[in-house]
Amino acid sequence: MSGFSREEAAGRAGVDVTYVERLVSLGIIAPTGQDRFSAGDVRRILMARSLEEVAIPLERLATALEHGALSLGFFDAEAYERFAPLTGETFQQVSERTGVPIDLLTTIREAIGSPLPSPDDLMREDEMAVVPFLELQIAEGFRPASIERLLRVQGESTRRMAEAEAAWWNAEVVEPAMAAGRSADEIGNPEFADRSTPLAERAMLGLYHAQQARAWTSNIIEGFEVLMARAGIHSHLERPPAICFFDITGYTRLTQERGDEAAADLAATLARTRGAQGRAGGDAPLPRRVRLRAADPAPALSDSRKNAGSFRVEEHETWSRRSPGT
């Protein structure tokens, strides 16, 4: 029999059966004739709970759905499978089964951006997907501190990508649909979500692989230099590269007075400028400081002085800039 019983749906959403029954009575979810619930229903339960947590009462949600002001139908689309349900195992049970320390397992949820769970909390399916990688590292004797560092960087990096993608979706899909007066069912555009999501994931993986190739190339070159130096075949480069910093005066004030969007536009402009003028290195601009990398210090200092005028932030009615530092 397909679908989930009330008990199973409640368990996967992390709620009581009475909560599911309340949603049914309000018309927020509707079981099939055999009293079964779909994966989309489980996601609707999760969303109803999230709306309640931000002070939107279920009764008002039900009213909005009844009048067609809102729709939760898009949760049936495959693209929304990333709203992961709970599994039947707790963090403690998974730790005992895999040998991964409980502190590392709970860091998975924290790295995603959620509060630190207790050992008795159930793990989600998306969190469970991370466990085999941690288990492999523990089995190979990797240091827990190193494992945690990578995990947190992965969580932070994917958070930034997800938030940028969400802003893109809102600006290019949701807001135009609302401005055009489309219905609640059309605004979510599940058909486009199903078409675009696999392509977006493929693009992200392609970019990630390209970044891996760059980083791995650096590791390989460094390792080869060390090995060749040990064999007396090649001397290891002793002179470090030059790093040039441009301080962006007024960036914080720009954010405060004009908002995050203006700051983001500035960051994008700096990224393009750096790409055109800082080809010597691969480092990205930092929030308040732009960093350029060059293999040879002497030309780098001369070029940085020429580039200093390109990095400006408007303050009041004047332009302010600072000299580069190395």
Six-digit token string for 219: 């590791």
Spatial separation of the C-alpha atoms in residues 274 and 246, rounded to whole Å: 11
Spatial separation of the C-alpha atoms in residues 11 and 8, rounded to whole Å: 5
| Residue 219: other Cβ atoms inside 10 A | 9
* Residues facing residue 37 across a β-bridge: 4
Do 134 and 147 touch, CB atoms closer than 8 A?
Answer: yes
What is this structure's pTM?
A: 0.71
DSSP class per residue in 139-179 = HTT--HHHHHHHHHHHHHHHHHHHHHHHHHHIIIIIHHHHH
Tell me the per-residue pLDDT of 275-321, one tens digit each, with 9 for 90 and over: 555 444 444 444 445 555 555 555 655 555 555 554 444 333 333 34
Q: Of 164, 94, 163, 180, which is closest to residue 129 (Cα–Cα)? A: 94
Tell me the per-residue pLDDT of 257-275, one tens digit each, with 9 for 90 and over: 777 777 677 766 666 555 5
Per-residue pLDDT of the chain (326 residues; tens, 9 = 90+): 689 999 999 999 999 999 999 999 999 999 988 899 999 999 999 999 999 999 999 999 999 999 999 999 999 999 999 999 999 999 999 999 999 999 999 999 999 999 999 999 999 999 999 999 999 999 999 999 999 999 999 999 999 999 999 999 999 999 999 999 999 889 989 999 999 999 999 999 999 999 999 999 999 989 998 899 888 887 766 556 666 665 565 666 777 777 777 767 776 666 655 555 544 444 444 444 555 555 555 565 555 555 555 444 433 333 334 444 44
Spatial separation of the C-alpha atoms in residues 133 and 146, rounded to whole Å: 13
Q: Which residues contact 311 (CB under 8 A, 6 or more apart)?
A: 246, 248, 270, 273, 290, 321
Residue 65 to residues 18, 61, 62, 173, Cα–Cα distance (Å): 21, 6, 5, 21
